Structure 1
C-alpha cells in the first residue's frame, strides 16, 4: 500500500518542476483561448494584459498549493483574476465565457501535468495516486476561485448597469411621458423605436438568494428573448437594484412560449418575477406595451407571494385594471361573492370548484376532469358555493366569474378575514 506522505511529496516535486514553466504555460493557455475563446484575446491590449496576469497568478497559486500542501478551500482568488472578472463585467462579456476559460485552462494544465509525471514516474501505482491527488486538489482550487471571480463579476455588472443606466433611464422616462425626439433617442439608447416592441418588467420579489441582482435579471431576459422572433438585442433599463424595465424588438408580434419561460425561470433565482405586456407598433406601441406590463406588475405586487411568477396582460389584463384600486376591488368582491369571499380553506375549495365549473361552460363532467374529482363531489361543492353566494349564479354570472378570478390571482388581498 502506498504511503500517502510519499504521494504528497511526489506531487510537490512535480509542482516544483512545473513552477519554473509558468511563463511558458501562460503563453500556451493564451494560444488555447485564441482558438476556443478568440474574443478574449482579440480585445483591448490592457484587457488582454490583465488576462495574461490573471493566468500567471492563478497558475502560480495553484502550483504553490501543491508544493506546500495548502488547503485550496482557504485560498483567495488572485488580485488580477478578480480585476479581470470585473473588467469583463464592464464590457458585457457573458459570464459563461469567464467560467469556460477556467475549465479549459484547468483541463490543459492537468493534461500537461499528466504527460510530465508519466515521463518522470515509473511506478504506475504511484503515478495513479499522484494524479488522483492532483485532480482532487485542482478541482477544489478551481471551484473556490470560480465562485469568487463569478461573484466579483456579478457585483461589478450590477454596479456598472446601475451607473450606466441613469442617463438611459431618464431618456426612457422622457419617451414614456411623450417627450424626447425619436432619432436622438434611438441613437442614445442603441435601440430602434420604429418597429414592434414587447415590454416586460422583471424584478426580484424579495432580496435575491444568490446575490445575482441585475446581472441575473439581464441574463434571464436575454434567454427569454432568444425564444421570440427578435429583431435585435433587448433594451434593458435597470430601475433600482432589484428591478428592470425591458423592451424586446420583434420581427413580428408574438409572446414568449409558456414552456420556455417556465424552463428559464426554473433555472433562475426563485425570487424572480416577470410581467409581460402585449406587442405594440412604433413609439406608441412601445409606450402602451410598457403601461400594460406596469398594470400587471401592480397586480403581482398586490398579490405578493400568492401570485404566479410570470403574468401576461393577455391573461390578466382585465383583472389588473380592476385591481388598480385595491380597496374598491375588495369591496366589490365582498359584495359580489358574499360569504364565499371568506379567506379560509373551506371557502377557497368552494371558490375554485365554482370557478372551474363556470369556466367549463357549467359542465360537471368537464369540471370533475380538471379538478380530478368525482362528478358528484363537484355537484355538491357547486351547490354549497351557490348557497354561500345567497343567490343563483345566473343572476350576475359575469360578475361572479370576474370576482372569482380576482380571488384566484390576489388571494388574501381581496378576501375577508373569517
Structure 2
C-alpha cells in the first residue's frame, strides 16, 4: 500500500477522526463553553485535520493553504483567550489520533502496509504537525501582541481621560473600564513615577515593569497604566486605602536589585475611577516636589508635602512669597540662620550650637532678621509666609539656583 492510498483511507475517516479529537480536547482549559461553542471547535479541527492528512503524501514544508489554515486557528484562539498550551495540546491530540489510526491500518487492511512506508509516514506526520503547530503558535503570539497593544492603548487613553481637568462622565468611564477589565467602582490610588538621575524611555519602562511586578502580586484588580505630563501614572485598586500600597512601594524602594533611582508620588486619597482625577494630580504634585527637592529613592505621600505642592501648582504665589524676602537673598548668612532657627524649634541656643557660632552672633543675626521682616521671631504662625518662601526657594533651585541663598538643603525649614 502506498502513502497516497493511506492518505485516501484517512481522508475517508476524517469525520470520525475529528470526533475523536473533539472528545480528547473539549472540556480542557480554554476549550469550553466559556470560550467557544463545540460546533465552532469542530469547524476548525476538521479542515486542519484534513490538511495534516493531505500533507502526509508530500515532501518538504506543508503546503501554503495548510500553513494559512494553521495561522488562522492560532489567530482565532488568541482572540478567544484560549491558553497557548491548550492550542499546542489540541495539535498534539490531532497527531495522536491520526497516528493511532495509521498503526491500526498496518494490520487491518487487506494488504499490510510495508514497514518502511509506515515509518516514513509516521515521521512525516510528526514533521507536518510540528511545523503547523509552530505556525499556529507564531500567529497566536502575533495576535496576542496586537491585542495587548490595543488594550494598552485603551488603558492609556482611559488614564488620560481620568487624569484630565474636565470632570469624567461616570457612564463613559464605566464602559471604557469594562473594556479593559477594570472595576470602575473600586477605589484607586494614583502613583506617579519620576526618575531623578535619568530621563530616558527605556529607563521608565524598566522601572515600570519592576513596579507592576511588585504591585500585581497583591493587587485586587486590573492595574491601569498611562502617562501624565510625560511621566508614568499608575492607578492601583486599593479597597483598603493607600496605606498598604505605600508600604509595598517602600519595600520596592529598598530593593537593591531595583534598576534605577526613583521618586514615587502617591495620592493621599483613593477614589472610584470617575472621581480619581484629584488623586492623579496629588500623585503628580507629590512626585514633582520630590524631584525638585532633589530627593531620590523615596516614596512621597501627597499629605506630607501639601504646602510644597501648593507652591508647585501656583508658581505665581511662590514668586510673590520669595519676592517679599528680597532683602534677605543678598545676606546668605541670615538665610542660613533663619533656616536653622526654624529647624531647631526657634531656639537661639540650639541655633548657635548647630551653626558653631557664639550665642551673641546668633542673637545679633536674629535681631537683624526681626528688623528686616518687621515682626517678632517667636511665633511660628506669624512666620508661615517666611517658611513657605524658604520652601519656595528650595523648589526653584533646579531652575534658578541663584535664588537659593544660605545653604538650602532640600529639608523642610521646620524639620
Normalising by the residue count of structure 2, what TM-score does the alignment of the two structures yield? Answer: 0.49
**1 or 2, which has the higher helix percentage?**
1
Larger radius of gyration: 2
Normalising by the residue count of structure 1, what TM-score does the alignment of the two structures yield? Answer: 0.49
